Amino acid sequence: MAQPALTAGRTRRRALFGLLDGDGWAWAGIKSFIWFILIIFVLGYLPDRAYYFTVFPTIDLGILAWSPINLCPPENGGLPCPPPPGAAVAWQKNPAQLNLPTPVENGTAIQVGTDLMYIGGQTQPTGGATDAVLVAKTAGTGNYDAWQAGPKLPAPRTDAAAIAFNSVVYVFGGADASGKAQTSAYILSPDQSTGELGTWKTAADAKLPLDLPEPRSAASVIAVTDGLVVAGGFGADGKPTTTVWKSTVDAKGALGKWVAQAPLARPQADAVGVEDGTFLWLYGGTDANGPTGAVQRGNLGTAGAGGATASPAASTAASPAASGGTTASTSDVVGWQIANEINLPTARANPAGFVANGTMYLIGGSDGQHPTRELYWAIPDAGGAIPEWKHLAASDLPDGLEGSSAVVLGSDAVLVGGRSDSGLTNNQARTNLAPQPPFFQLGLVGATVPALKIEGEIGQQLGYLNAAGVGTIDFILLILVGWAFAHRERMREMFARIRRRRGRS
């Protein structure tokens, strides 16, 4: 049978560089997908960007997986751009009106409610423990007023383990005016309704069994979910110890008597002690040989038997509960591990430190001869490993400092008191732990540009209006585009008339 001839002058339309039939299903599917993405973009993404352009300091345009061009605000100082996680901006000294009344070191700065407190310490290079407690009212985010005299301790104490726990302030041990370690426990219970601090009570006055089992100074006190842990410190003989005790809260919220926990893997005193939600950490300070860079990791509950694994060279100490004795609660300390790969880069005695947003910090301290300036930080992973201790010269202190105390106020950290090469200081240094991200980035598949950042409720309302306005305009444009595709012949005629008018002019 003869094949019918094609109509003269008729060819099949091809699309996508001739790869697809212009009237086939494949090309139709590709076009529908493109229009689907376009509709989501104009009705979802653009209104969303319009809102955040109003209320955020910067706005991302597109996908910015990697950017070779980054510009950061000058407030970040000399930090890399973008700043690495955990980095702190350059330290600045507080104005003179916020100086402590007297130069002091080895006290403890804590925040309880709206009060910033500096407890005890020593006002002479050796000995000279004081019973003074200084108080400053916090004002806004990261700020506080001038220091005023607060309720004095029942007796002078320096190198005490002080902490605010459940809105109550506790001071354990410490050295007295003669330099001898003590067992005493002092308690301050501020009035939550009036804000009055009240007066200190001894453990006997408060009818709480909180005097330490043995004298301790320069011990580390760490809050856990159900109580307090006191680790290490100098004993009555002046030597670092391995003892660890825990006081657990009862059903009424009162702390109970101290119970021995797994001892430290090795003696350590005047170290930074923190808890990161999974482990206890003790780092820096002094051991039997002087300044140390040791980092000891404490396992809570049953983690000592099967938690994070230390290296083969790690030393481990386990409590009776971890080795088959009494059943431990999830916040009992059941073992300590120490391994070379998680140690500090260098030894530091009498440093300051804290944990914030899952990052552990160590600031200053002594190398055994002079106060130092360096700030080190580390971000442990979920298994308790520390990939590295990081350091940036831009985050170091202006001057070397040891015997200072750190307190975190919002996104700021403040160092109070301490000793430099010039002697005791009454000044404070401040840093911000949240460096600003780049205000401009240009990458291969996107960019970050400055935005308006209108604060408060006004910014939010304007953001909603911007989003609604952009969405409405985009919707109208989509209707016009749809009408144009449905009336192609009329659109061709319209464009032809426009071209003819331009030709005549």
Q: Could you list the mean pLDDT of each consecutive 10-residue stretch along the chain, which spans 505 residues?
A: 52 80 88 92 91 90 87 93 95 92 96 95 85 92 90 97 96 96 97 91 96 98 96 97 96 93 97 94 96 96 45 44 45 90 95 96 96 97 93 96 96 95 93 94 90 90 94 94 90 88 78
CB neighbours of 21 closer than 8 A, spacing ≥ 6?
A: 12, 13, 14, 15, 27
In the prediction, which pLDDT does 439 show?
Answer: 92
CA 25 to CA 16: how far, in whole Å? 13
DSSP states along 141-175: SS-B---EE-PPPSS--BS-EEEEETTEEEEE--B
Q: Are 454 and 462 in contact (CB under 8 A)?
A: yes
CA 157 to CA 338: how far, in whole Å? 31
In the prediction, which pLDDT does 229 show?
Answer: 97
Beta strand spans in 217-254 (E): 220-224, 227-231, 244-249
CB atoms within 10 A of CB 34: 10
Candidates 341, 343, 361, 359; CA nearest to 351 is 361
Name the CA dihedral angle for 468, 473, 479, 485, rounded to a multiple of 10 degrees.
Answer: -140
In the prediction, which pLDDT does 11 show?
Answer: 62
Q: Are 414 and 428 in contact (CB under 8 A)?
A: yes
In the prediction, which pLDDT does 505 show?
Answer: 67
3-class DSSP state of 316 = strand
Please report, for residues 165, 257, 295, 297, 444, the alpha-carbon distance to residue 284 in angstroms, rounded to integers and kept in the order given: 24, 28, 7, 12, 44
Q: Are 282 and 220 in contact (CB under 8 A)?
A: yes
Q: Which residue has the tokens 């407190």?
A: 117
CB atoms within 10 A of CB 289: 10
In the prediction, which pLDDT does 22 show?
Answer: 81
In the prediction, which pLDDT does 307 show?
Answer: 39
In the prediction, which pLDDT does 313 show?
Answer: 38
Rounded to the nearest angstrom, the gap between the alpha carbon of residue 402 and the centroid of all alpha carbons in its chain is 22
Candidates 210, 205, 302, 220; CA nearest to 259 is 210
How confident is the model over 144-168, as pLDDT tens digits? Answer: 999 999 999 999 999 999 999 999 9
In the prediction, which pLDDT does 353 show?
Answer: 97
3-class DSSP state of 491 = helix
How confident is the model over 286-303, as pLDDT tens digits? Answer: 999 999 999 999 999 854
In the prediction, which pLDDT does 264 show?
Answer: 97
The overall pTM is greater than 0.85? no
In the prediction, which pLDDT does 224 show?
Answer: 95
In the prediction, which pLDDT does 503 show?
Answer: 79
Candidates 350, 287, 339, 377; CA nearest to 108 is 350
Residue 323, both tokens:
């080795």
